[in-house]
Chain A
């Protein structure tokens, strides 16, 4: 009976805690950092600058330099933005915009933000270029602000179709604010890539498709992307990532193979399709090293357990022999295994205590 009463009281305390948190939120909306210092917090060298809204112009928050300097390359272009649009430099512009939002983002309102951005642009660009950039930045940031409010009331899309519809919805939202030309210039590639990634992940992780069906579907997807964007699909050029994806594509086939030997042979074939032979040899050497380490640790744990269960030894003798064992198996790294065992013992103790708690 007491126990039955005890559980609900925990939930009541939980609810009180949430209410307390709400009260804190109400009374303390800026959520200042508490002064508590953890035991092992290192000395910090760079802190969040305490930026007063009115000082934001002078104190940028980002600790990074501007990612790109935009410049006009064709003297015949009307202005910097026309030049950048002609050269399809939307991504560079987006990078600068993201940096401006981040760097001059700790302000009170849009007016303060635009003042800070204008000030920085005027310092770093000629007046004509600064005005040209601002003319695109202003509708961009207004659109992003409205989008933030819009997204706050949207639910997370759960299916492939819902995700694709979500992208389309956002695209249309931006077009309404910035027009189709600027939306496509600034976000076109990013949106197309996001859609492509969504579709690619869906195909690769589809448990109902065989590897050959997946490879065919991926080929179709790549062709469709290339036809739409007039450029290659945004697949990773990194051979290791391609190999990992290939393993995922073949996951079902690998799981249904008759023997482990057959499976290993198929994996080797997939590796040779992706890497040169010397890299495959290095990967196999790494695997051998990992297996050897695993076997060493297994053998150590067996011997250690036998020692722990040996009733003829007293505690002191057991400790002495365990240390010898650690030195024999791990040599210079013996301290690492001791540290690991200390963490594991604390965790086990905590879990055992929790399991016994009434």
Chain B
């Protein structure tokens, strides 16, 4: 065997047995995170929406990107902003496609961007975490509960808060509220936002079992329990199903459950019985096994 053959053989065996510390998680396409309603990539400008999740993903070799759109705006406006950021990410990364992971309203505006704004060829998969794919009856109750005369006033007040505190540009909280009502989502959004055959769609739901660990979610969880049954404080388990439904995150036996905020590791990344960074690492590993 000449030297060249020996060298090639050595390279071959090195490649075969090369220890791949990150081989398990490094997806073929980068992950793009789409946050939910009521916050941007930073909550009130001082806290990361996704907490330690992006760092945990990056540490195991995942190329991950965080997008940020208005906290309160119509699905369409958020989708346009999201699409533009995905185009910028594709340009910066040199990737052909991305894997989208959306949370809450982020699952809807990212679906809109795929189906209606031309992202269909640039997305390999869409993972939905606690997304209101059949709308939310809590949103119905709130939006229908505001008297007509106060409709504009309430919307204006919320818009002002979001513009001043959250840094939103021209927010539209009323459109956001109506956009997640059951009538709009079921009868108008879903029929006009069809899934793309070439894209892999999957979803997870969160469930608070006997109470919501986050104080903010406790009252809405109770109301939603009466309205829609099992839920995470804002979105019911049934509404969260889209595409290949992978299951429910409800934390361990000793925890009241995994609520709508816990599923993304909010607020400080400590969720009894549920480890958010590990959950997202597992999703990356799973996408990798699917060749995505």
Query: Do B133 and A355 touch across chains, with their CB atoms under 8 A apart?
Result: no
Query: Do B87 and A289 touch across chains, with their CB atoms under 8 A apart?
Result: yes
8 A Cβ contacts from A105-149 to B: 105-110, 112-113, 144-145, 147-148
8 A Cβ contacts from A1-59 to B: 7, 10, 14, 17-18, 20-22, 24-25, 29-34, 36-42, 44-49
Contact residues in A for B93 (Cβ distance below 8 Å): 240
Query: Do B65 and A240 touch across chains, with their CB atoms under 8 A apart?
Result: yes
Query: Do A40 and B190 touch across chains, with their CB atoms under 8 A apart?
Result: yes
Query: Do B188 and A346 touch across chains, with their CB atoms under 8 A apart?
Result: yes
Query: Do A109 and B244 touch across chains, with their CB atoms under 8 A apart?
Result: no
User: What's the minimum C-beta distance from A244 to chain B, rounded to whole angstroms?
Assistant: 8
Q: Is B11 an interface residue (CB 8 A)?
A: no
8 A Cβ contacts from B171-212 to A: 174-175, 178-179, 181, 183-184, 186-193, 195, 201, 207, 209-210
Query: Do A347 and B92 touch across chains, with their CB atoms under 8 A apart?
Result: no
Residue of A40, A238, A355 touching B58 (CB-CB under 8 A): A238
8 A Cβ contacts from A167-201 to B: 167, 170, 190, 193-194, 197-198, 201
Given contacts A339-B116, A340-B192, whether A18 and B223 have CB atoms under 8 Å apart is yes
Query: Do A238 and B63 touch across chains, with their CB atoms under 8 A apart?
Result: yes
Residue of B46, B59, B272 touching A202 (CB-CB under 8 A): B46
Q: Is B71 an interface residue (CB 8 A)?
A: no
Query: Do B253 and A107 touch across chains, with their CB atoms under 8 A apart?
Result: yes
The distance in angstroms between the C-alpha atoms of A64 and B227, with both chains bound, is: 32
Contact with B along A340-357 (1 / 0, CB 8 A): 101110110011001111
Residue of B45, B201, B227, B255 touching A205 (CB-CB under 8 A): B45
Q: Is A256 an interface residue (CB 8 A)?
A: no
The distance in angstroms between the C-alpha atoms of A45 and B187, with both chains bound, is: 24
Residue of A nearest to B252 (CB): A105
User: What's the minimum C-beta distance from A240 to chain B, rounded to whole angstroms?
Assistant: 4
- Give the contact stretch, choosing among B1-9, B99-107, B145-153: B145-153
User: What's the minimum C-beta distance from A237 to chain B, rounded to whole angstroms?
Assistant: 6
Query: Do B245 and A44 touch across chains, with their CB atoms under 8 A apart?
Result: yes
The distance in angstroms between the C-alpha atoms of A49 and B47, with both chains bound, is: 35
Q: Is B282 an interface residue (CB 8 A)?
A: yes
Query: Do A151 and B270 touch across chains, with their CB atoms under 8 A apart?
Result: yes
Query: Do B253 and A108 touch across chains, with their CB atoms under 8 A apart?
Result: yes
Residue of A198, A244, A282 touching B91 (CB-CB under 8 A): A282
Tell me how many residues of B have a C-beta within 8 Å of chain A. 110
8 A Cβ contacts from A305-358 to B: 333, 336, 339-340, 342-344, 346-347, 350-351, 354-358
* Chain A binding surface SS class: helix
Q: Is B268 an interface residue (CB 8 A)?
A: yes
The distance in angstroms between the C-alpha atoms of A333 and B114, with both chains bound, is: 12
User: What's the minimum C-beta distance from A91 to chain B, rounded to whole angstroms?
Assistant: 8
The distance in angstroms between the C-alpha atoms of A206 and B36, with both chains bound, is: 24
Residue of B nearest to A38 (CB): B134
Q: Which A residues have a C-beta under 8 Å from some C-beta of B?
A: 7, 10, 14, 17-18, 20-22, 24-25, 29-34, 36-42, 44-49, 61-65, 67, 94-95, 98-99, 101-102, 105-110, 112-113, 144-145, 147-148, 151-152, 155-157, 160, 163, 166-167, 170, 190, 193-194, 197-198, 201-202, 205, 234, 236-241, 243-244, 275, 279, 282-283, 285-287, 289-290, 333, 336, 339-340, 342-344, 346-347, 350-351, 354-358
With A18-B219, A42-B244 known, 15 other A-B pairs at CB within 8 A are A17-B223, A36-B238, A39-B190, A42-B241, A47-B247, A64-B286, A67-B282, A101-B275, A105-B251, A151-B272, A156-B268, A201-B46, A202-B46, A287-B88, A350-B184
Q: Which 9 A-B pairs have the closest CB atoms?
A: A148-B272, A21-B226, A105-B252, A38-B134, A98-B275, A44-B245, A357-B148, A34-B229, A346-B188
